[in-house]
Structure 1
C-alpha cells in the first residue's frame, strides 16, 4: 500500500483559536462535575498546610509534607487568601483544561493534523474513557498530574519543532510539578531524539538530557532521599506498590485480557499510522515513532518488573503513559489516517482503518455512555450555590463537619472511616487514613496504624478493596480496642456510620446516620 501523504491544515490564527475554544468546551461538557472528586480534597491539603501552618499540624501524615508536590503546593497556597477549597478546585480545573486545550492545539499543528479531525479525535477519546486504567484520566480532577500534562505536550511540541533547549526546560519543569509524569516525559521525548540521532547528531540528544537533568536532578534526589530510609529498612516499595496503589502499579490488579489487547492495539495502530501520515517529514515521523517505542518499552519493562517483583521500578508507575497517553495518540493518528485515506480515495484502506477504530472503541464507548452522554444534562444544569454550599446528598455530612469544627478542640485526633473529605472539611487530625500514605519512612507505621484500626488483623485485600475491609472492622471496634487506640495514639473521638449501643454513654453527636463518640467521657 502506498504511503498516505501528510495533511496540510489551514494555519490561520482564528482557526487555531476556534479549535482551542471548541476543545475546552468539549472538556467542560463531557468531563465537568459540580462536586469535587474524592482525591481533590487530598491534593489540596499540602497547599493549605503551607498557607496555614496550624492546619492539621497534629496529624500523623500531614505534619510532614512530601517534597513530591512541592511546586504544586506552593503555586496553589496563595489562593487560600481569597477562596475556599471548592472554588479552588473548580478554578483549578478550568485553568488546567484551558491550558491543556491550548497545548493540544499546538500539538495538532506541530504534527500537521487538520483541526476538524483533531477535534473529532478528542471527542472520541473523551467518550471512550480516556484511559484503560480506572480513575486515571488526563482530563478529570485538579491535581499535580493535571498541571503536568499540558507541559508534557508543550515539551513535545518544542521537540517536534526542533527547539531542543525549550523542550528540555519544559521537561524539567514537568518533573518539578509531578515527578512520575516528568520522569516518563524525559524518557519518552528523549527516545524521540535517540531515534533521530543519525539525522540531528548526538549533540541534540546530549543537550536535551543535560538541560532537563540539571533542572530536575536536585529535586529528584531530594524525593529519593525522603524514601531512601524506608526503602532499605522498612520495605517502602513493596508496601506502597502492592498494598496502597496496586490499582495503578500492579498489572495483575488493573489489566485484564481485554485491556491488554486494547493497549497493544493502540500501540501498533498508532505506530503504523504515524509511518503513513507523517511520511513527508522524516524527522517528525521518526521522532513520534521513538516516543511510541519508548511508551511501549516502559509498558514491557513494567510487566517484567512485576514478574520479578522489582518494586522499585513499579513505584515509578511504568504503565502510566501506555494507559493514558497511548489512547490519545491512537485516536489522533489513526483517525487522521482514516480521513487521509478517504481524501486519497483508497476504499480498502478506509475499510481497514474503520474496522480497526471501531473494534477498539466499541466496548469503551458503550461502557462510558452512562457516565458521559446520558448524565450530561444533570451535570450541566446545576444551581450556582453548589460552588459554595454542600450538594443535597452530602448535606448530612456537611452538618456533621460543621459541628466538629465548632465543638471539638482543634488539636483533637479522630478514629474515622476512610472519608476522603474528612481532613479538609472537619479540619481535624486522624489516627490514620488509607486515602493518603506518607511517602517516606513512616509508611511502616502507617500500615501498623491501619492494622490497629482493622482490629489488629492483617488485611486480606489490597488497594481500594482494603478500604471496604477497613470500614467494616472500624465500625465494629470494641470498647476495649477503642480505649487502647486512645492510649496509643492520643485519639479522642470515634466516628462511625452505625449506632453503637455499647457506647451510648460516650455519644456526643448523632444525626443523618453519623455517630460521634467522645472517648474522654469514660467513667472511672
Structure 2
C-alpha cells in the first residue's frame, strides 16, 4: 500500500508550468476541439438530445411527438442544461453547450496530466494525439469530442476523478465518478468499474478498502440520481416485452455500437492494433507509479471489451439465445475502451519520448517524427473534412438527399404550420425537429430508452416507412397509398406528410395522392421535398 495517507494527498514536488502557459494550453486545446468538430450544427446526436432537453422544460413544445414524450434516460443533463434551449435557438444552445463541455474536458484533462508528468505542454501534445486517435482508432463508434450531450459532461468529471486518484484523493475520485454516473450512467458506471479493477491490480498504489468507503458511499448515492430514474423507466414492463425491446434496440437499431461480429473488420483490426501498442507502452512504463494507475484503469476497459466479445460469441454461436444476449449487450461493453485506449496510448508515447530522448535520441526522435506525421495527417484530414462540408454532420450522416432543400422545407413548415401539428417525415433524416420544430410520428434516430415506447417506436416504423417499402419497394413515403395515409392519420394524428421527391424519382415512383400539396406552393418551384396536407375531414 502507498505509505501516504489518502486523506492527506502528497503532491509531487516537481516544477509546474506557469499559470499563463497553462491557460494558453487550455485555449489551444479548446481551439483544437473546435477545429476537429467544425463550424456547422447540428452534430449527429444534438437534435436527439437538445430537442428532448427543450421538451423536458417546455412540454408544450412539440406536445404530440412520441419520442419526446417517452422516458427521460438522461434527466440530470436535461435538468442542468436543458433550460438553455428554452431561451435561445438550438444552434446557439449547441454552441454554448459545446464550449462548456470542451472547456470542462480541457481543464480536467490538463489537471489529470499534470499529476502524471508536470512538464509544460505534455498535456497538450497528448490530447492532440489522443483526440485524433479516438477519431480514427475506435472500434464501436464511440467519440469524445463532438456535439453537446450527457456523456461529454460525464467524461469531464471522469477525467477530474482520475486526476484525484493520481493525487491519492481516492474518496473524492469516487464522488467525481458518481457525478459522472448521474449525468451518464454507462460512462460514469463503467469508469467506476475500471477504477475498481485498477484498485485490485495495483496493490502498491491502492489505499485500504475501509479508507475509501466514504467516497464510495457518497459517490454511489450521487450516482443514484441518474440510475434510479433509468431503472424506473421500465416499471410495469413484462419480461417478454423487455426482452424483445432489447432485441430490437441491440440487433436492429444499434448493432453498429453493440454487436461486435457486425463491426467492420477494419475497425476491429485498427482498434486491436492500437490496444496492442498501448499494452506495449504500458509494459515499458510499468515502474511509473502514476502511469500504472492510469494504465490499470485502461486495462479494466480492455477487460470489458473481452467480456463483450465473449457474450457476443457465446450467445451467438454456442448457446444461440439472442434474447438473453441482448439484455447483456445493451450495456455498451466497448464504449470506454474506444476512448481510453487511444488516449492512454498517446499519453504513454509522449512520456516515453521524454524518457528515451536522452539515452537514445536518434531512435526516439525517428519514432516521434513518424508518429507526429501520422497524427498531423489524421488531424488535417479531419479538419479539411469538417471545414469543407456543405451540410451539417447530422444531415450528412442521415443521408438527407438535398440538405439545403431539406432545411428550407423545414423552415417553411416552422413558419406556416400549426405548432401542435404531427408530421410523417422521411426515414433518412434526423434533424426535422431541429429545423421545423414540429412533432413527428417516428424517426429512426430517435429511439426511446424505455421498453414500452421502444416497442411502439418499432411498430410506428413498420406502419410507416417499412409499409412504404413493402408496397412499392421504395424508402420514400411515396410508396404509401391514400388509404394507408388515412389510416395512419386516424391512428397517429398525422396532418402533414413530407416526401423526399428525389428519392421517389430515383426509385421510379410517382406521387399520385389527391391530397393538396402545400409546399412548394408553385408548380414551377423546384425542391427535393414536397409537403402534403391531409385535410381535416380525412382525420
TM-score range (shorter-chain normalised) is 0.7 to 0.9
Between the aligned partners of 2:41 and 2:150, the Cα distance in structure 1 is 19
For structure 2, list consecutive stretches of 5 or more residues without a partner in the other structure.
1-11, 316-321, 391-401, 505-509
Match of 2:344 among 301, 304, 329: 329
- Pair 1:261-2:269 in alignment: yes
The equivalent of 1:215 in structure 2 is: 222
Match of 2:234 among 208, 227, 230: 227
Quickly say closer, same or farther: Cα 1:268–1:203, change in 2 above 3 A.
farther
Between the aligned partners of 1:409 and 1:422, the Cα distance in structure 2 is 15
1:359-438 counterparts in 2 under 5 A? 362=374, 369-373=380-384, 376=387, 378=388, 394-418=403-427, 419-438=429-448
Q: Secondary structure at the match of 1:180?
A: helix
1:10-49 counterparts in 2 under 5 A? 10-49=16-55
Quickly say closer, same or farther: Cα 1:285–1:329, change in 2 above 3 A.
closer
The equivalent of 2:260 in structure 1 is: 251
Between the aligned partners of 1:130 and 1:167, the Cα distance in structure 2 is 29
Between the aligned partners of 1:379 and 1:24, the Cα distance in structure 2 is 21
- Pair 1:142-2:153 in alignment: no
Q: Secondary structure at the match of 2:357?
A: helix
Match of 1:170 among 169, 172, 176: 176
Deviates more, 1:104-113 or 1:129-138: 129-138
The alpha carbon displacement at 1:186 in A equals: 0.7
Quickly say closer, same or farther: Cα 1:330–1:228, change in 2 above 3 A.
farther
The alpha carbon displacement at 1:481 in A equals: 1.7
The equivalent of 2:477 in structure 1 is: 474
> Does the CA-based 8 Å contact 2:171-2:213 persist in structure 1?
no
In the comparison of the two structures, how many residue pairs are matched?
Answer: 490
Deviates more, 1:153-162 or 1:119-128: 119-128
- Pair 1:236-2:245 in alignment: yes
Between the aligned partners of 2:14 and 2:359, the Cα distance in structure 1 is 14
1:179-218 counterparts in 2 under 5 A? 179-197=185-203, 199-217=206-224
Question: TM-score, normalising length from structure 1?
Answer: 0.84
Q: Secondary structure at the match of 2:497?
A: strand
Between the aligned partners of 1:213 and 1:10, the Cα distance in structure 2 is 34
Question: TM-score, normalising length from structure 2?
Answer: 0.82
Quickly say closer, same or farther: Cα 1:42–1:138, change in 2 above 3 A.
same
Quickly say closer, same or farther: Cα 1:522–1:253, change in 2 above 3 A.
farther
Q: Secondary structure at the match of 2:65?
A: coil
Q: Secondary structure at the match of 2:479?
A: coil
Deviates more, 1:320-329 or 1:496-505: 496-505
Q: Secondary structure at the match of 1:492?
A: strand
